[in-house]
Structure 1
Amino acid sequence: MLARLTSGIGSRWKQTAADKMVLRSCWKSRHKSSRRTVNPGLAALLCFCATQFVCAAGQVDEAKKYVIQKDAEFDVTYNGTVTHDNQTIYAFNHTISRNKTEGVRVTVDVLQQSLESPILFVVRQKQAVMSFQVPLNLRGLYQRQYPYKHVGRTLCQPPTRAASETQYFFVDVSTLSSQGTNYQLRVSRVESFTLQTDKRFTFSASPSQPQYFKYVFPDGVDTVIVKVDSDMNFPCSVMSIQDIQCPVYDLDNNVAFIGMYQTMTKKGAITVQRKDFPSNSFYVVVVVKTEDEACGGPLRLYPLRPDELIDAGNRSKVLDVLVSRAISSDTYVMGVLFCLGIFLSLYLLTLLVACVENKRMNRRRELLQIPADLSPAEKGKTPASPYEYGSFADTGSTLGSEPVTDSVASTDNNYGYMERSLDSIARSRQESLSSVEEEDYDTLDDIDSDKNIVRTKKYLSVADLSRKDKRVLSKKYQIYFWNIATIAVFYALPVIQLVITYQTAVNITGNQDLCYYNFLCAHPLGALSAFNNIFSNLGYVMLGLLFLLIVLQREIVHKQALDRNDLNALECGIPKHFGLYYAMGTALMMEGLLSACYHVCPNYTNFQFDTSFMYMIAGLCMLKLYQKRHPDINASAYTAYACLAAVIFFSVIGVVFGRGNTVFWIVFSVIHILATLLLSTQLYYMGRWRLDSGILRRIVYVIYTDCIRQCSGPMYIDRMVLLVMGNIVNWSLAAYGLIQRPNDFASYLLAIAICNLLLYFAFYIIMKLRSGERIKCLPLVCILFTAVVWGFALYFFFQGLSTWQKTPAESREHNRNCILLSFFDDHDIWHFLSSIAMFGSFLVLLTMDDDLDSVQRDKIFVF
């Protein structure tokens, strides 16, 4: 057994000439001991010890022969050759101070063009080990490899508690190549390793030579903005903010492991708070990427094999880094107070105007010697119109050849104003307050038989299209409010949950590319990264609430007038239905809430949060304009919201699949044109055109009889003018979309809605003036003021501080500094002005027909 043990040891031992002599003597002593009285086990043990001694001695000799350690110095270039038979260790020492930080940088070059195996460099230092190979093969898209033979790395700085301490580190150079490989090694100090506040520093970086610097928060500074700029778009680079620890992740394949980071081309900015770094300091790391696809640059040709090496080329980039102080807490307070002050002042202005208007009405009653608590009906007097309505021909209109008289405008004797007794008015009021079902729209006995006849009159009055029961219509239009309130609840809750998840992901992962902020003016507060962009949406909510209060006050006054059987409220003016106004105010408030949610983390996947209620606001405003003169035949809430849902659906589909997709643009353009034609037909024939399977046959018949056989002009010229202009505008927009195919489909769709709204509003104003009506002072001021505010708002909107249609790095090229109180940027000002402009637009819709409040409805024309 002992013989087998010793023979096994001998077989595993690499024998040299000297070793064989030792073994031979051991075996001889063993055989001799076996013939004598010496214990054979003891002889075997002595032999085993001898062999171990020989092995250790051989390893020492081998170490002395193949491992070379050199004392090295800083700023000296060392040339060496390495093979698999030798290894070189360079020993460095340097003195570090607790009050002074300086970096240490290792630079390596390999001189051969082709290598059998890479050279491995291992830097051993206190509390850290860093290793890299040369050539350094960095991977890009599709696992493509890019070799770099010139590598430069900065060593991390372990903290020291002593005032001064000498630290040692070693650079080991080795390879598995049997051929000698020449290299150059240089270790130098980085004098400008610590960044200074408000002092710009210029440096260069490449994928194999990343750079990072240290910044220490000065006393009294809690938040700073780190800005990195470059005159070069490409190569694409990454800036990262990391805590003071080892190792520092400064390569393209690991820079996203810790800290905050973002891709950049020309601009990059990250706001850093002291509370996130316990050491009151951090590293600013800049890495140049191996490829540019992350920044929207062109992709290179794909290699035949994923592991094929591609020439890295020259990807050096010159950059500037600047660390500046962020705004103070006083600036936050000033920004918040300024925002609140603007909108509270509008509350006060509205209250002042209401008081002045109420005082003016009281003076008017006193001048007319009419007690304020009595209505004209109670005095037995007929309210006088401030002006006489003539025919269209009298106002210079060319829309018709026949003059329109009062008798023509009032064909139904049941609506004769002077022939109605007070008893009949009170009785009809009681009947309108009776319990009726929502479906019972046509409550008059003759409405089913003569509604088509009434609508075919050449000139209609509002009385002709307000024959349905007031209670039923009020309930019908209240559905708009309740539906949009329900939509708001079910829409807002998942939106809030989603954006909280986005913000949490940004805070945890540190990936600043998830959200498209204006990083040069993004002021964090708590967990929110851009508090100013969120808070500036407060105007939509406050002014939407103010509009709801104004509408509520008007509704209360109107109900009080109805309770007094006031003839002005019963038989004069545009019929008062407030459901759509409540829906508009709610939509404005929801626009503010959802826009704030969108700006928590604006990106490609949640764009619809910011635009959905804009479509609804535009649609509700058009419906309200149409309802003013067509209260009986306006669309129901269910139909209107179904159409708006289809618009939002196309918005999402267009953004996701519409970019450069020819099929989508053809389909959308065809649907757009067909919808315009169908809506035009419905509006022209006052809802009497049925949309069923026989529509094509009827269209052909109308074209044949009216255009070919008789060649007669349109019966309703005013409507035809509007619809022709509307079709021209919409067909032009459809052609533009089909030819240009804009990337921002959501804004394109919103532009279609706004153009149609403006067109209809302009037509309404023109027809109102041509009909002999006038615009009172208050709505006129609102129109002029709103137009000016809209102009300034659109100017700031088109500044384009960020865009999710591009990559995050390209979006940051549009970032700009704050321009208002060092707290708000251009987009925040757009929020301020657009909320005020929308509020003014709502007031215009609410007050533009106040001049008709004392005019009989059978003398108010429909257009």
Structure 2
Amino acid sequence: MNTLTMLLIIWFTFISSTFSIKLLPDVKKIEVNTPKTLEISVNNLVEYIIYYRQLSARNPYRIKVSSKNADPQNPVLVVVRQEKDVISWELPLHVTTSKNQDKYYHVTSRTMCHNNMNVINTLSFRSFMEKSFHQDFTIGISSSCNINSTVSIETIEEENFFVKDGENVTLTVSPSQSRYFFYKFSSQDSDTLTIELNSNDDACLIVSIQDSTCPVFDLNEDIMFRGKYQTISRKGGLTIKRKDFSEGFFIVFVMKPDNYDCSQELSIYPVTKYYFERNSDATSNVSFVIRSSLGRKQYVTSTIVTMSGILFFYLVALVLIVAFRKYGSMKNINAAKEVISLDEDVVDDTLPRSTMDIVYVLEKPDLNVKVLTKYPLKDKIRSFNYLWHIISIAIFYSIPVVQLVIAYQRMLNYTGDEDLCYYNFLCAHPLFSFSDFNHIFSNIGYIFMGILFLFATFHRQQVLPFRFEVGIPVHYGLFYSMGIALIIEGLLSACYHMCPSQSNYQFARFLSLITINIINIGMLGIGLILYSKGKTDFGTFLLGLLMANAIVHALFYTTMKIIHNERICIEAIVYGVLGILSWIAATIFFLDAATLWTVTPAESRQWNQECILMNYYDKHDVWHLLSAPALYFTFMFLMCIDDDIIDKRQDNIPVF
């Protein structure tokens, strides 16, 4: 090889290496010993590595990076390296809205997960609150853009990172600036905690509770991948069980770029939509406080007090039954008097009702009970059909309901998605695998009141068997079915409250008829108007309609008794007054709703309220506890209302 060839090879090698070196960016290193704000310019030829050495602080640091002229097509890349963790993001930060639109944020911040979390988890509460830690990390800033991007980097110690019990914490959050904090259980904490959250605007937030290990998922794309979470707008609440987060937990706040997940547009019901997107510089102020909730002793105490109240009610009810038997309208009744036997009635009951009989009844000007009770045994047997029908319906209806709510509860426990169920999160006490045990347990009153009414019906049947020629024929099968229905009400209401949602709630003469129909149509119109304005929901409207019908019929029957010179016996007066008082008290608590399942979960939480009774029951629980005896008194009123004519001949009792 000649000299010229060697020179050419050396020349081309030098040119190639020089060209390659120019393609690599110039790395500039900066060492920082104290947190401060830096401003740098980066492009495809210059990148920065900033070393933070021996920073001593108890709290972790939040890195705030901003750039007004960063190019979305060639963004600035931010890489934060710690001893055990790496987080990275681009600037401007790209976030996709619910409508698949692209939004870019030029101001971003992320909180670094504490390098010493494994040490903090082993320390006592007091020890780590007084301890400082050395924290080393580096920040790399680079870009592939050939135009300079001015970048501002600010290192901020997260002062209120370790939250104390009862401490009110206020923070600012945006779609590009998530925040999170840490709570460590102390020996004084109860088995459950309640986190109460409030916001001053309608911004849609996702709040997540994650265990005490790094990394923390604090982006819109990944916040739902760990722990439990829920959407909130102006108000929210979470219940934390100590056994689920024994070492402590992170509470993470991420703001959505729009309000779709919190707005009524997400609802399956046809209500007003008001979707909007947040401005790129929009922020939201949020405050939260963590408080100790109930311990095992308080659960036991509340249960004992509730059962004691039911026992006391039983004693009062039994005293009333015995007292009315000895001193009321039935005190002189002869149970054996004119009891109809099978032999006396079987002949008549085998005869079909002819057309002539029906015409005779319809054309008779003054109908009496005797005319309408020509086949008493058949009517007696038919009355027990109500009992078998209600049992059949209950079995048929309960199977899918139970399966549905159990599936929802399991899904909530598995996924951590607390938007599945419409709880009153400010008064939801978990027990066993149930997230809201108190709203389930408060339905126990319906079950015990149903059992009590069954006993009252059985007692009355023994004292007053089916009789012929006198009094109103008693359909005991109907009363038994009413008692069973009250028990089923408690069971199915308890099932519904395992996970209330928009899906499982679907499983709750001529002149007189015209008047009642007009009233129903009027209530229907009022209900539709209130529903269209968002003042009520279908369940409340339906319940109100049924209650109003029951009230109208009871008032009609009572009024007609007075018009026909029949007196209202003392039993009916006592039960009626007690029923009215109970209904008034119960309705007051029912109308002050703590949830609203026709809107989104986030909007429903704006109705959430704190407990009002024994720090265990909220207003809806009180509605359960009061409406159960109200139903019992109402049923007893209906059973006793005709005791004043118990010995009156049926041909002297008018039909109205």
TM-score, reference length from structure 2: 0.89
Identity of paired residues, percent?
Answer: 34
Find the counterpart in structure 1 of residue 518 from structure 2.
728
* 1:323–1:735 Cα change, 3 Å: closer
Match of 2:601 among 805, 808, 812: 808
Is the contact made by 1:519 and 1:812 (CA closer than 8 Å) also made in structure 2? yes
Q: State how far apart, in whole Å, the 2-side matches of 1:506 and 1:87 are.
A: 46
Identify the match of residue 26 of structure 2 among 62, 66, 69.
66
Structure 1 residue 570 and structure 2 residue 468: aligned? Answer: yes
User: Is 1:180 equivalent to 2:148 in the alignment?
Assistant: yes
Q: CA deviation at 1:113?
A: 6.6
User: 2: distance between equivalents of 1:761 and 1:335?
Assistant: 36
Give per-residue Cα distances to partners, 1:105-134, cap 9 Å, x unaligned.
101111327555100001111221100000
Query: Which residue of structure 1 aligns with residue 99 of structure 2?
Result: 142
**Number of the residue aligned with 1:755:** 548
Distance in 2 separating the partners of 1:737 and 1:317: 36
Assess, with a 3 A threshold, how the Cα gap between structure 1 residues 165 and 56 changes in structure 2: closer, same or farther: farther
- Contact 2:328–2:570 (CA<8 Å) still a contact in 1? no
Is residue 207–residue 289 contact of structure 1 (8 Å, CA) maintained in 2?
Answer: yes
* Change in CA separation of 1:255 and 1:746 when aligned onto 2, cut-off 3 Å: same
Q: CA deviation at 1:739?
A: 5.4
The aligned residue for residue 496 of structure 2 is 598
In the TM superposition, residue 135 of structure 1 has moved relative to its aligned partner by 0.1
Amino acid at match of 2:358: K
1:93 aligned onto 2:53: yes
Counterpart of 1:123 in structure 2 is 80
* Deviation (angstroms), 1:735: 3.8
What is residue 171 of structure 1 aligned with on the other side? 139
1:430 maps to which of 321, 343, 346: 343
Give the counterpart letter for 2:604 in structure 1: S
Match of 1:793 in 2: 586
Deviation at 1:71, TM superposition (A): 1.1
Does structure 1 retain, via aligned residues, the 8 Å contact 2:209–2:227? yes
Contact 2:70–2:149 (8 Å) recurs in 1? no
Is the alpha carbon distance of 1:167 and 1:739 closer, same or farther for their aligned partners in structure 2, counting shifts above 3 Å?
A: closer
Preserved CA contact (<8 Å) 2:205 2:253: yes
Which residue of structure 1 aligns with residue 560 of structure 2?
767
Contact residue 235 and residue 315 of structure 1 kept, 8 A = no
Match of 1:337 in 2: 304
CA apart distance, 1:474: 2.1
Residue by residue over 1:405-449, the C-alpha shift from the partner in whole angstroms, topping out at 9 and shown as x without a partner, is xxxxxxxxxxxxxxxxxxxx98x75243x5x9xxxx954588553
- 1:608-757 counterparts in 2 under 5 A? 608-609=506-507, 611=508, 719-736=509-526, 742=532, 744-757=537-550
Match of 2:229 in 1: 261
Residue of structure 2 in register with 1:584 after alignment: 482
The Cα shift of 1:166 comes to: 4.0
Corresponding letter in the other structure for 1:125: Q
Local SS of the residue matching 2:519: helix
Deviation at 1:731, TM superposition (A): 3.2
Question: Partner letter of residue 733 of structure 1?
Answer: M
Residue 793 of structure 1 deviates from its aligned partner by 0.9
Specify the alignment match of 2:272 in structure 1.
none
Instruction: Quote how far apart the aligned CAs of 1:321 are.
Output: 1.6
Query: Is the contact made by 1:104 and 1:189 (CA closer than 8 Å) also made in structure 2?
Result: yes
- Counterpart mapping for 1:829-848 below 5 A: 829-848=622-641
On the 8 A contact 1:199/1:323 being kept in 2, the answer is yes
Contact 2:471 2:648 in 1 (8 A): yes
CA 1:218/1:802 → structure 2, altered by over 3 Å: closer, same or farther? same
The 1-side partners of 2:96 and 2:369 are apart by 74
**Aligned-pair distance for 1:294?**
1.5
What is the distance in 2 between the residues matched to 1:485 and 1:776?
Answer: 32
Structure 1 Cα separation of the partners of residues 251 and 138 of structure 2: 25
* Displacement of 1:588: 1.0
CA offsets, 1:703-737, max 9 Å, x none? xxxxxxxxxxxxxxxx2442232132133234445
SS in 1 for 2:461: helix
Q: Which amino acid aligns with 1:732?
A: G
1:223 aligns with 2:158: no
Q: 3-state DSSP class of the match of 2:224? A: coil
Any conservation in 1 of the 2:67–2:92 contact (CA below 8 Å)? yes
For the Cα contact (< 8 Å) 2:421–2:501, is it kept in 1? Answer: yes
User: Contact 2:425–2:605 at 8 Å: present in 1 too?
Assistant: yes
Amino acid at match of 1:839: Y
Q: Is the 8 A contact 2:64 2:153 kept in 1?
A: yes
**1:142 is paired with a residue of what secondary structure?**
coil
For residues 767-824 of structure 1, what are the alpha-carbon distances to aligned partners after superposition, in whole Å with 9 as ceiling and x for unaligned? Answer: 1111121111111111111111111111111101100111111111111110111000
Tell me the distance in 2 between the aligned counterparts of 1:516 and 1:268: 12
Q: Which string of whole-angstrom CA distances, capped at 9 and with x for unpartnered residues, describes residues 625-664 of structure 1?
A: xxxxxxxxxxxxxxxxxxxxxxxxxxxxxxxxxxxxxxxx
Assess if the C-alpha contact under 8 Å between 2:200 and 2:284 holds in 1. no
Which range moved further: 742-751 or 127-136?
742-751
Which string of whole-angstrom CA distances, capped at 9 and with x for unpartnered residues, describes residues 453-486 of structure 1?
1331111110000001x33222212111111101
- Measured after TM superposition, the shift of residue 364 of structure 1 is 5.8
Once residues 548 and 335 of structure 2 are traced to their aligned partners in structure 1, the CA distance between those partners, rounded to angstroms, is: 45
Larger strand proportion of the pair:
2
The one-letter code of the counterpart of 2:443 is N
1:326-475 equivalences under 5 Å are: 326-360=293-327, 429-432=342-345, 443-444=350-351, 449-468=356-375, 470-475=376-381
In the alignment, which of 387, 404, 411 is matched to residue 505 of structure 1?
A: 411
Is the Cα contact below 8 Å between 2:97 and 2:257 reproduced in 1? Answer: yes
Cα distance in structure 1, aligned partners of 2:574 and 2:278? 68
Quick one: distance in 1 between partners of 2:553 and 2:24?
95
CA change 1:445–1:757 in 2 (3 A) is closer
Comparing 721-730 with 247-256, which one deviates more in the overlay?
Answer: 721-730
Task: Name the amino acid aligned to 1:598.
Answer: Y
Superposition map of 1:268-347 within 5 A:
268-278=236-246, 280-296=247-263, 312-347=279-314
Shift of 1:452: 1.7
CA gap 1:297/1:289 in 2 versus in 1, 3 angstroms: farther
CA distance in 2, matches of 1:443, 1:509: 63
Partner residue of 1:481? Answer: 387
| Alpha-carbon distance in structure 2 between the residues aligned to 1:727 and 1:132 | 66
Distance 1:294 1:363 in 2: 62
User: Which residue in the other structure is 1:248 paired with?
Assistant: 216
The answer to whether the 8 Å contact 2:42/2:141 transfers is yes
C-alpha displacement at 1:284, in angstroms?
1.1
Structure 2 residue identity aligned to 1:274 = R
- Whole-Å separation in 1 of the counterparts to 2:278 and 2:577: 64
8 Å CA contact 1:204–1:316 kept in 2: the answer is: yes
Name the aligned partner's letter for residue 823 of structure 1.
Y
* CA distance 1:587–1:191, shift in 2 (3 Å): same
The one-letter amino acid paired with 1:197 is D
Closer, same or farther: CA 580–103 of 1 in aligned 2, 3 Å: same
The gaps in structure 2 that reach 5 residues or longer are: 121-130, 267-276
1:528-556 per-residue CA deviation (whole Å, 9 max, x = no partner) reads 11111110000111101111111122223
**Alpha carbons 2:561, 2:567 under 8 Å: kept:** yes
Deviation at 1:149, TM superposition (A): 0.5
